[in-house]
Structure 1
Amino acid sequence: MTFQDNAKAATENMRALFKRTPLHRNDHLSDKFGAEIWLKREDMSPVRSYKIRGAFNAISKALTNAPDQRLFVCASAGNHAQGVARVCAHFGVRGVIYMPVTTPKQKVEKTRIFGGDAIQVVLEGDYFDETLAASQAYCASQGAHFLSPFDDADVIEGQATVAVEIEAQLGRAADMIVLPVGGGGLSAGVTSYFGTDGPTYTFAEPAGGASLALAVEKAAPTALENIDSFVDGAAVAKIGAKTFECLKDFAQDQIFAVPEDRICTTILEMLNIEGIVLEPAGALSVDVLKDIKDQIQGKTVVCVTSGGNFDFERLPEVKERAQQYLGLKKYFMLRLPQRPGALKDFLGLLGPDDDIARFEYMKKSARNFGTVLLGIETTAEENFAALHERMERGGFGLQDITGDSALADLVI
Structure 2
Amino acid sequence: MTVSDAEYLKKILLAPVYDVAVKSDVDYLTRLSDELGNEIYLKREDQQPVKSFKLRGAYNRLSQLSDAEAACGVVAASAGNHAQGLAYSARRRNVPAVIVMPETTPDIKVDAVRKFGGEYATVVLHGTNFDAAKTHAAHLADTHGYAMIPPFDHPDVIAGQGTIGRELLEQLPELDTLFIAVGGGGLAAGIAVYLKQLKPQLKIVAVEAEDSACLQAALEAGKPVALDSVGIFADGVAVRIIGDETFRLCQQYVDEVMTVSTDEICAAIKDIFDDTRVIAEPAGALSVAAIRKYVQQHHLRGQKLGGILCGANINFHTLRYVSERCELGEQKEAVFAVRIPERKGAFREFCAELGGRGITEFNYRYADGDEAHIFVGLKLREGKAEFAALTERLHTQGYSLFDLSDNEMAKLHVRYMVGGRPHQLQHERIFSFEFPEYPGALMKFLQTLGERWNITLFHYRNHGAADGLVLAGFEIQPGSETDFIAHLQQLGYQYREQTDNPAYKFFLADMHGRS
Give the TM-score normalised by structure 1.
0.82
- Partner AA of 1:218 in structure 2: A
Q: 2:313 aligns with which of 295, 309, 312?
A: 309
Give 1:265's aligned residue. Answer: 267
Deviation (angstroms), 1:262: 0.9
Q: 2:328 aligns with which of 315, 324, 335?
A: 324
Would the alpha carbon gap of residues 242 and 122 (structure 1) be closer, same or farther in structure 2, given more than 3 Å must change? same
Deviation (angstroms), 1:185: 0.5
Matched, 1:15 2:18: yes
**Residues 149-186 of structure 1, C-alpha deviation per residue, up to 9 Å, x if partnerless?**
0011211111111122223334x354333211111111
Deviation (angstroms), 1:37: 3.2
- Partner AA of 1:302 in structure 2: G
- Do the aligned partners of 1:388 and 1:398 also contact (CA within 8 Å) in 2? no
Would the alpha carbon gap of residues 255 and 408 (structure 1) be closer, same or farther in structure 2, given more than 3 Å must change? closer
Deviation (angstroms), 1:238: 0.9
Q: 2:28 aligns with which of 13, 25, 28?
A: 25
Would the alpha carbon gap of residues 111 and 397 (structure 1) be closer, same or farther in structure 2, given more than 3 Å must change? same
Q: 1:76 aligns with which of 78, 83, 93?
A: 78
Deviation (angstroms), 1:196: 4.2
Q: 1:246 aligns with which of 249, 255, 259?
A: 249
- Partner AA of 2:315 in structure 1: D
CA separation in 2, counterparts of 1:374 and 1:406? 13
Give 2:347's aligned residue. Answer: 346
Matched, 1:161 2:170: no
Would the alpha carbon gap of residues 330 and 188 (structure 1) be closer, same or farther in structure 2, given more than 3 Å must change? same
- Do the aligned partners of 1:177 and 1:303 also contact (CA within 8 Å) in 2? yes
Q: Pairwise CA RMSD of aligned residues?
A: 3.4
CA separation in 2, counterparts of 1:291 and 1:97? 37
Matched, 1:60 2:82: no
- Do the aligned partners of 1:77 and 1:233 also contact (CA within 8 Å) in 2? no
Deviation (angstroms), 1:4: 2.0
CA separation in 1, counterparts of 2:33 and 2:109? 31
Would the alpha carbon gap of residues 58 and 329 (structure 1) be closer, same or farther in structure 2, given more than 3 Å must change? same
Matches within 5 A, 1:149-228: 149-170=151-172, 172=173, 174-196=175-197, 198=199, 199-228=202-231
- Do the aligned partners of 1:356 and 1:374 also contact (CA within 8 Å) in 2? no
Deviation (angstroms), 1:243: 0.9
CA separation in 1, counterparts of 2:401 and 2:293? 34
CA separation in 1, counterparts of 2:52 and 2:351? 45
- Partner AA of 2:313 in structure 1: N
Would the alpha carbon gap of residues 271 and 103 (structure 1) be closer, same or farther in structure 2, given more than 3 Å must change? farther
Would the alpha carbon gap of residues 105 and 32 (structure 1) be closer, same or farther in structure 2, given more than 3 Å must change? farther
Deviation (angstroms), 1:359: 3.6
- Do the aligned partners of 2:268 and 2:288 also contact (CA within 8 Å) in 1? yes
Matches within 5 A, 1:127-138: 127-138=129-140
Would the alpha carbon gap of residues 168 and 64 (structure 1) be closer, same or farther in structure 2, given more than 3 Å must change? farther
Give 2:282's aligned residue. Answer: 280
Identity %: 31
| SS of corresponding position for 2:274 | helix
| SS of corresponding position for 1:195 | helix
State the structure with bigger RCO (CA 8 A, min sep 6), 1 or 2: 1
Would the alpha carbon gap of residues 115 and 56 (structure 1) be closer, same or farther in structure 2, given more than 3 Å must change? same
CA separation in 1, counterparts of 2:299 and 2:143? 51
- Partner AA of 1:161 in structure 2: T
Matches within 5 A, 1:365-376: 368=369, 374-376=375-377
- Partner AA of 1:26 in structure 2: L
**Residues 56-79 of structure 1, C-alpha deviation per residue, up to 9 Å, x if partnerless?**
011121254524223x22122411
Unaligned runs of 5+ in 2: 1-5, 416-515
**Residues 241-278 of structure 1, C-alpha deviation per residue, up to 9 Å, x if partnerless?**
11112122246x61111222111111112212432321
- Partner AA of 1:306 in structure 2: C
CA separation in 1, counterparts of 2:410 and 2:289? 29
Matches within 5 A, 1:32-111: 32-64=35-67, 66-70=69-73, 72-100=74-102, 106-111=108-113
CA separation in 2, counterparts of 1:40 and 1:291? 19
CA separation in 2, counterparts of 1:192 and 1:69? 32
| SS of corresponding position for 2:190 | helix
- Partner AA of 1:86 in structure 2: Y
Deviation (angstroms), 1:410: 5.6
CA separation in 2, counterparts of 1:289 and 1:302? 8
Instruction: Give the number of the structure whose alpha-carbon radius of gyration is greater.
Output: 2
Unaligned runs of 5+ in 1: none
CA separation in 2, counterparts of 1:154 and 1:398? 55
CA separation in 1, counterparts of 2:98 and 2:89? 12
| SS of corresponding position for 2:219 | helix
CA separation in 1, counterparts of 2:301 and 2:396? 46
CA separation in 1, counterparts of 2:107 and 2:340? 40
- Partner AA of 1:321 in structure 2: R
**Residues 365-385 of structure 1, C-alpha deviation per residue, up to 9 Å, x if partnerless?**
x5x358766453545564797
Give 2:8's aligned residue. Answer: 3
- Do the aligned partners of 1:35 and 1:296 also contact (CA within 8 Å) in 2? yes
CA separation in 1, counterparts of 2:123 and 2:158? 24
